[in-house]
């Protein structure tokens, strides 16, 4: 269907980042927590799936499911002491979350391979069918993204999404109406963690190698950039921002060494004329 | 029957006694008016009753249960619902969503039509628009409707007609009288005596955090101490 493997590769990468961005938009947009360590959740999922398939020989399907669950549970547990904080303080605490995960990976040598990273992660196989072609991986990531988009879009439109937005808008008023802030934020973190974990697992099996530097803070910041460019709390915007910003460096290849400069300028221009993001904040 | 009660309630900010040894009783279906000059401790008292602030001394009881240490979300679930002096609508949420969040303790279910009806055409035709598009006075109305969506046992209104002209104030008065007729228990903070006197069953006057006087509205308006503290000397 897409004969051009280069384009498929770029889009596959785009779908994975889109899943990451969709998960982040639930936290940063709907819940209003400017999470600076979201890539840490991706690392949790990547290492879970990588280790389970590589070390314990788990089938991909089971390891992939576990990746989502572990990222959701561990991510929420790590964030839980911070969920009582507000505003910038909470953001700084999420920055710590990302760092804690990566430092733990670096130092848990026997388990994670430490600084050497984790190599030779097998290609995914679905019900006996190995996903080892570019187009196969393209469709797999697109299908997983579709699940993530459906669930997160549903959450954002549900009463849960409304309550999260109310907490974001005015925590004092929401609390005065009986909303208990911490469990709601934790729930948002868990759902987001699940899909960020999936995005991490997809990258792990795509690259076959991951390390404590694969899911670093620049990736968290890139995720925020995508989410803001598309429109905070907007699922379609998150996908558009992720695909757009992951394709932009490819489009800008002709300007060679001026790429980062043009990239930055385009972002500035976009934010100048459309501060609410391409598809608008929700 | 007593619904809400405080005993020797106190709150200090440094050397300032914002609320001092205050005993307050509100019966089921009663409307208590709370007046007093700026800084008298009225809003501090609301914060203490709603759980947004903790007292330094004394106790708060809801139907005899000690709720002094309850967090505000728990008090809201028990039926103590407040509005805020300067208005705190959820700015980017539609009027409808504001009301549905108000119904949080009722599982997010509310009769939106019935809640918006009393405000005529001010809110209903624009119920899908975000709250920030509404005028200050209309945002106060949204907040009152949102509080009622929670179907409160006791409603705490902090200057519900601030920013409204005399005609709009009368409208709110009629609306609140209607609520009272249906048996809604309320504590109302208000500077405008034309609102408080016809509405309240009983009026408490606070000054410097303590009770200056407590009486029926008619007697309050004649009490020289109240006139001096609240309206100024030239009225004496």
CA-wise closest residue to B104 among B147, B62, B139: B147
Residue B165 lies inside a defined structural domain of this protein: no
Same-domain status, B156 and B63: yes
State which H helix or E strand residue B189 sits in: strand B185-189
Contacts of B77 in chain A (CB under 8 A): 178
Coil, helix or strand at residue B35? strand
For chain A, positions 263-282, list CB contacts with chain B under 8 A: 281
Contacts of A173 in chain B (CB under 8 A): 84, 88-90
Same-domain status, B68 and B156: yes
The pLDDT confidence band at residue A3, using thresholds 50, 70 and 90, is low
Tell me how far apart the alpha carbons of residues A114 and A265 are, in angstroms, rounded to a whole number.
37
Contacts of A177 in chain B (CB under 8 A): 76, 81, 101-102, 104-105, 146-147, 150
pLDDT, tens only, A159-193? 999 999 999 999 999 999 999 999 999 999 999 99
User: Any CB–CB contact under 8 A between B138 and chain A?
Assistant: no
Tell me how far apart the alpha carbons of residues A163 and B90 are, in angstroms, rounded to a whole number.
10
Residue B122 lies inside a defined structural domain of this protein: yes
Residue B141: both structure tokens together? 């109305």
pLDDT at A130: 86
pLDDT at B107: 87
pLDDT at A113: 87
Q: What is the pTM of this model?
A: 0.91
| ipTM value | 0.91
Radius of gyration of chain A (CA): 18
* Domain residue spans of chain A: 5-217
Count structural domains, chain B. 2
User: Any CB–CB contact under 8 A between B88 and chain A?
Assistant: yes
CA-wise closest residue to B217 among B227, B207, B204: B204
CA-wise closest residue to A47 among A13, A186, A39: A39
Tell me how far apart the alpha carbons of residues A131 and B38 are, in angstroms, rounded to a whole number.
72
Contact A173 B90 (CB under 8 A): yes
State which H helix or E strand residue B44 sits in: helix B42-50
Q: Is the pLDDT of residue A23 over 50?
A: yes
Which of A172, A177, A180 shows the shortest C-beta gap to B101? A177
Residue A118: both structure tokens together? 């984790």
pLDDT, tens only, A227-281? 999 999 999 999 999 999 999 888 888 887 888 888 888 888 888 888 888 898 8
Domain region containing B87? 80-151
Residue B124 lies inside a defined structural domain of this protein: yes
Chain A residue with Cα closest to B77: A178
The residue of A177, A179, A180, A282 whose CB has the most chain B CBs within 10 angstroms, and thus the best one to mutate to test that interface, is A177
User: Any CB–CB contact under 8 A between B82 and chain A?
Assistant: yes
- DSSP-assigned beta bridge partners for residue B155: B81, B186
Contact A166 B93 (CB under 8 A): yes
Q: In the A/B pair of chains, how many CB contacts fall below 8 A?
A: 71
Same-domain status, B141 and B156: no
Same-domain status, B217 and B142: no
What's B221's domain CATH number?
3.40.50.300
Coil, helix or strand at residue B204? strand
Q: Is the pLDDT of residue A20 over 80?
A: yes
Same-domain status, B118 and B30: no
User: Any CB–CB contact under 8 A between B96 and chain A?
Assistant: no
CB A37 within 8 A of CB A164: no
pLDDT at A42: 97
A44, A62, A63, A71 from A56: Cα distances, Å: 17, 11, 10, 18
Which of B91, B92, B150 shows the shortest C-beta gap to A177? B150
CB A49 within 8 A of CB A222: no
Final residue belonging to a domain, choices B97, B126, B151: B151
| Residue ranges of chain B with per-residue pLDDT less than 70 | 229-236
pLDDT at B236: 45
Chain A residue with Cα closest to B98: A166
For B16: left if phi > 0, alpha if psi spans -120 to 50, otherwise beta; the answer is: beta
Tell me how far apart the alpha carbons of residues A83 and A181 are, in angstroms, rounded to a whole number.
8
Same-domain status, B156 and B227: yes
CB A228 within 8 A of CB A241: yes
How many other C-beta atoms are found inside a 10 Å radius of the C-beta of residue A182?
A: 11
Contact B88 A172 (CB under 8 A): yes
pLDDT, tens only, A30-89? 999 999 999 999 999 999 999 999 999 999 999 999 999 999 999 999 988 888 888 788
Note the maximum CA span of chain B.
Answer: 53
Q: A164 to chain B nearest CA, in Å? A: 10
Same-domain status, B65 and B3: yes
Which of B77, B88, B90 shows the shortest C-beta gap to A178? B77
Same-domain status, B69 and B156: yes
């Amino acid at each position: 269907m897409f004969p051009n493997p280069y384009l498929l590769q770029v889009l596959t990468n785009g779908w994975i980042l889109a899943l990451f961005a969709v998960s982040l938009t639930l936290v940063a947009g709907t819940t209003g927590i400017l999470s600076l360590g979201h890539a840490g959740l991706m690392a949790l999922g990547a290492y879970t799936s990588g280790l389970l398939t590589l070390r314990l020989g788990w089938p991909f399907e089971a390891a992939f499911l576990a990746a989502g669950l572990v990222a959701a549970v561990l991510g929420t547990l790590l964030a839980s002491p911070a969920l009582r904080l507000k505003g910038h303080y909470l953001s700084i605490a999420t920055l710590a979350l990302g760092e804690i995960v990566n430092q733990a990976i670096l130092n848990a040598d026997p388990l994670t391979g430490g600084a050497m990273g984790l190599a030779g992660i097998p290609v995914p196989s679905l019900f006996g069918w190995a996903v080892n072609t570019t187009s196969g991986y393209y469709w797999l990531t697109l299908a997983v993204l579709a699940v993530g988009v459906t669930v997160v879009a549903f959450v954002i439109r549900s009463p849960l999404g409304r309550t999260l937005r109310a907490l974001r808008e005015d925590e004092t008023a929401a609390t005065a109406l009986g909303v208990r802030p911490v469990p709601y934020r934790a729930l948002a973190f868990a759902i987001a963690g699940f899909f960020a974990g999936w995005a991490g697992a997809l990258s792990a099996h795509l690259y076959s190698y991951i390390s404590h530097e694969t899911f670093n803070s620049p990736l968290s910041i890139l995720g925020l950039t995508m989410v803001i460019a598309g429109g905070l709390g907007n699922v379609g915007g998150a996908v558009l921002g992720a695909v757009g910003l992951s394709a932009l460096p490819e489009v800008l290849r002709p300007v060679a060494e001026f790429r980062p400069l043009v990239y930055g300028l385009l972002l500035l221009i976009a934010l100048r004329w459309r501060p609410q993001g391409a598809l608008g904040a929700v | 029957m007593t619904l809400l009660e405080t005993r020797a309630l106190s709150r200090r900010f440094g050397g300032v006694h914002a609320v001092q040894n205050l005993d307050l009783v509100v019966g089921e279906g009663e409307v208590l008016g709370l007046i007093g000059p700026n800084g008298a401790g009225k809003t501090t008292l609301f914060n203490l009753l709603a759980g947004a602030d903790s007292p330094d001394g004394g106790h708060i009881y809801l139907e005899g249960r000690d709720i002094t240490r309850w967090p505000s979300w728990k008090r809201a679930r028990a039926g103590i619902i407040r509005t805020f002096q300067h208005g705190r609508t959820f700015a980017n949420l539609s009027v409808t969503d504001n009301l549905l969040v108000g119904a949080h303790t009722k599982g997010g279910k509310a009769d939106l039509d019935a809640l918006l009806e009393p405000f005529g055409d001010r809110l209903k035709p624009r119920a899908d628009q975000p709250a920030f598009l509404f005028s200050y006075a209309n945002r106060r109305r949204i907040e009152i409707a949102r509080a009622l969506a929670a179907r409160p046992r006791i409603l705490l209104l902090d200057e519900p007609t601030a920013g409204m002209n005399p005609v709009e104030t009368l409208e709110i008065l009629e609306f609140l009288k209607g609520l009272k007729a249906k048996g809604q228990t309320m504590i109302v903070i208000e500077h405008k005596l034309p609102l408080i006197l016809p509405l309240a069953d009983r009026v408490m006057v606070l000054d410097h955090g303590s009770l200056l006087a407590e009486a029926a509205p008619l007697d309050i308006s004649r009490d020289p101490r109240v006139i001096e503290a609240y309206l100024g000397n030239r009225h004496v």
